[in-house]
Amino acid sequence: MSGIVFDFSQLNVIVTGGTSGIGLATARSFLTAGAKVTITGQRAAMGEYSDVDLGGLDYHCLQLNNKDSIADFARSVKSVDILINNAGHIMPDADFAEAVQVNLNAVYELSAALRHTLSKSVLVGGASIINIASMMSYFGSPHLPGYGAAKAGVVQLTKTLAVAWAKENIRVNAIAAGSVPTSMTATYADNPYWAKVVSDKTPLGRWAKPQEMAEPIMFLCSPSASYITGHTLVVDGGYSVID
């Protein structure tokens, strides 16, 4: 744990894809900081996640490839101060359209659906939206064109919404996450060859822990970042600065 203490007492936080990885680490961090935290996942009920401790968190099923599901969830939200658009999925070439829907379109659709509610936030510095970008926002991948295109779009969407919604008491930022071992990246993280390739290219010499993404997210949502909007913070252990 770091020495930084955040206070989000009584604020309402939504973390999409909050049942594992970066999302779960972020949700737990906000919960520890006093927030009321709602997470989303693809399973019908929280009880179906018997393999993970979701204690203290509220849960809603949300299918990001279904516009009706997004609209229904947004209508159920009565108050929100912070929205973390974390949910995403790596998909093969054949699923280009769905990859863009889940990783980009849904980010906009949910943010837009909650825009009015976010604008009412009393959070110092304004309500905060954090989008999760990726190293693939900047580097091409021959294997995941839909995911890469979507994550590049997330960076631009972050800038656009920051400009569009600044006068509505809403800040919009993103983090470009480096390599983190999660259920989504397990194919690579659990492969000794690819795990070493990433570690060797990263100046800090290792993959990140999910918590190392959660704390920069919390900073960007805090009053300490009240003059930051439209920014994508690269959190990658130096990966992107090496040729």
Domain boundaries of the chain, sorted by first residue: 12-239
| Residue type for position 11 | L
For residue 196, the model assigns a pLDDT of: 76
Contacts of 191 (CB under 8 A, 6+ apart): none
* Residues that are catalytic: 147
Contacts of 236 (CB under 8 A, 6+ apart): 135, 176, 177, 178, 179, 202, 208
How far are the Cα atoms of 13, 48, 183 from residue 24, in angstroms, in the given order?
12, 15, 12
For residue 207, the model assigns a pLDDT of: 75
pTM over 0.85: yes
Mean pLDDT of each 10-residue bin along the chain, 243 residues long: 81 97 96 98 93 94 97 98 93 80 97 98 96 89 87 97 98 92 61 68 80 95 97 89 78
For residue 90, the model assigns a pLDDT of: 78
For residue 241, the model assigns a pLDDT of: 83
CA neighbor of 174 nearest in space, from 123, 107, 110: 107
For residue 1, the model assigns a pLDDT of: 47
| Residue type for position 90 | I
Query: What CATH number matches the domain at 12-239, 3.40.50.720, 3.40.50.10190, 3.10.20.30, 3.40.50.20?
Result: 3.40.50.720
The partner residues of 132 in beta bridges, in order of sequence, read: 175
